[in-house]
A and B are shown apart, each in its own frame.
Chain A
Amino acid sequence: DAGVIQSPRHEVTEMGQEVTLRCKPISGHDYLFWYRQTMMRGLELLIYFNNNVPIDDSGMPEDRFSAKMPNASFSTLKIQPSEPRDSAVYFCASGLYNEQFFGPGTRLTVL
């Protein structure tokens, strides 16, 4: 298995632009998580899905953030409009109830 796949690996954009991060979970996993990591705040859970249904989005910082999981093999995290404070590494992770595997992350820089 290729593991959790995230794209792009790096994204540089300007303030106000729309950013879309993509994730392909490991086949057979029924949980999918989006995390954000910064030096100041550490690892934060933004949202997670179970069987494609959003379970908890209380970590989503603002209405500018949205996430979808249209099917079991694909999820997106969208930021519109982006702001410099959104600069961070965004991780997608998938798993079963007793384990969780992370993707390589997307480093987002908003200028």
Chain B
Amino acid sequence: AQTVTQSQPEMSVQEAETVTLSCTYDTSESDYYLFWYKQPPSRQMILVIRQEAYKQQNATENRFSVNFQKAAKSFSLKISDSQLGDAAMYFCAYRSPPNAGGTSYGKLTFGQGTILTVHP
């Protein structure tokens, strides 16, 4: 079974600075999807960024980018120019590929989450 580990329960950053959140995963599959979700105090789960494992290029969405190291099974999230609105819990998630079949297809496996605090 796939597992996702976020080793940083809490992180903090100064406004306008850069912060990196870590995520590692364990899988025997060669193709899969990785996600970062943000959960602010409103508790709404918001998709931040997505990475397909078959793509070597790291995904980028405005101030958010990932460092995807497939061999190391590492998927870190970098937030540049941090803003107060970035304060939230961040979850890393893994999803099996479409051809996995069985009951693993389609569902997300989440990490434990990292609480990010942004200081003004």
State the majority secondary structure of interface residues on A. strand
The A-B contact count (CB < 8 A) is 52
B105 touching A55 by the CB < 8 A rule? yes
Q: Say whether B33 faces chain A, with CB atoms less than 8 Å apart.
A: yes
In whole Å, how far is A34's beta carbon from the nearest beta carbon of chain B? 11
Q: How far is the CB of B36 from chain A (nearest CB, A)?
A: 12
The reply to whether B43 and A105 contact each other, CB–CB distance below 8 Å, is: yes
Contact between A43 and B91, CB atoms less than 8 A apart: yes
Judge if B30 is at the interface, Cβ distance under 8 Å. Answer: no
Q: Are A45 and B107 in contact (CB under 8 A)?
A: yes
- The yes or no answer to B80 lying at the interface (CB within 8 A) is no
Cβ < 8 Å to A, chain B residues 93-120: 95, 98, 103-108, 110, 112-113
A31 shortest CB reach to chain B, Å: 5
Whether B103 pairs with A100 at a CB distance below 8 angstroms is no
